Amino acid sequence: MEATFRRNLTPEQVRPRLRSIALPVEHGGWGFTLEPVLLGLLVAPTLTGVALGAFALSAFLTRHPLKLWLADRLARRQYPRTKYARRFALLYAGAAVAALAVAAQFARQEFWSPLIAALPLVLIQLSLELRDQARNLAAELAGALAMGALAPAIALAGGADRQTAYGLWLVLGARSIAAIFYARVQVRRARAKGEPVRLGPAWLAMALSTAILFAAAWGGRIPWLGAISVALLLPLAGITFRRPPAPAKVVGWTQIAFGLLVAVATATGVRAGW
């Protein structure tokens, strides 16, 4: 009854669900936010790193209500959700600025460079989302690669050397590219209802990501455990692509678990020297 009643209302009359405004619904975004924070803190655990983690979480939460607010503003619309989206966006943004200020106050050394380098990626993702292209491949890649900058920032703030710090970003970037192509294929398979789905792009992305990491590990740029952990996606894909497609939610949670494995393995490799 309630659902039928709500369908008969105009957008201006519908009372917004605050949870749908305040919290993003995608599982992948949470994983791509938490992985670099976890990796950075495992490599260089400091209170500054915790502050940068709070910044990352606040920035991630800002994105969704900010997108809703800007979309309504650009379309010259004023819905009940608009004011709540603005309030949540300003609240989260304020928390992000405060956390970043705390990190800047107590950091052991400069950590801004990876965050500045990630800014163009953030702008690409936001511009695509404002055009209702949040599921665009470029938007997903840009968002994941941008969040990966938190790992080197946290590591640098904790005193890690630049090669180690930026090596973390390389591992996470390769893992993100491989995982996004893998997940997109799995989602397409679930929606295709038995129709054939092209697997070539996913295999190519996973193979190239693995090859880049193995080359970096051979050159001493990243730990071998980081490269090997990302390479595990290849046999996983070999198994899952032969089975019936899993629901999107299962794919999302699986990728979060895989990302955490990569973070722990990479941090262990950094600390153990292999």
pLDDT tens track for 52-100: 999 999 998 998 888 888 888 877 787 888 888 889 999 999 999 999 9
Residue ending a domain, choose from 104, 126, 160: 160
CB atoms within 10 A of CB 194: 8
Confidence of residue 1 (pLDDT cuts 50, 70, 90): very low
Give the Cα-Cα-Cα angle 201, 263, 49 (nearest 5 degrees): 125
Q: What is the rounded distance in angstroms from the CA atom of residue 216 to the CA atom of residue 43?
A: 18
Residue ending a domain, choose from 160, 195, 230: 160
What pLDDT, on a 0 to 100 scale, did the predictor assign at position 63? 85
Q: How confident is the prediction for the chain on average, in pLDDT?
A: 88
Same domain, 147 and 182: no
Q: What percent of the chain has pLDDT over 90?
A: 58
Provide CB contacts within 8 A for 198, sequence distance 6+.
Answer: 185
Residue whose tokens read 């295709």: 192
pLDDT tens string 5-55: 345 445 445 567 777 787 877 666 788 889 999 999 999 999 999 999 999
Phi, psi of 9 (to 5 degrees): -95, 155
Same domain, 202 and 126: no
CB atoms within 10 A of CB 181: 24
Residue 209 has pLDDT above 90, yes or no: yes
Compute the average pLDDT of residues 164-171: 97
**Sequence-ordered strand ranges (E) for the chain:** none
What pLDDT, on a 0 to 100 scale, did the predictor assign at position 196? 81
Same domain, 156 and 207: no
Print the domain residue range for 124: 1-160
Closest Cα to residue 125, out of 20, 32, 250? 32
Provide CB contacts within 8 A for 35, sequence distance 6+.
Answer: 147, 148, 151, 172, 175, 259, 260, 262, 263
Residue ending a domain, choose from 140, 160, 180: 160
What pLDDT, on a 0 to 100 scale, did the predictor assign at position 5? 39
Domains in the chain, number = 2
The pTM for the full model equals: 0.86
pLDDT tens string 116-131: 999 999 999 888 887 8
What pLDDT, on a 0 to 100 scale, did the predictor assign at position 58? 93
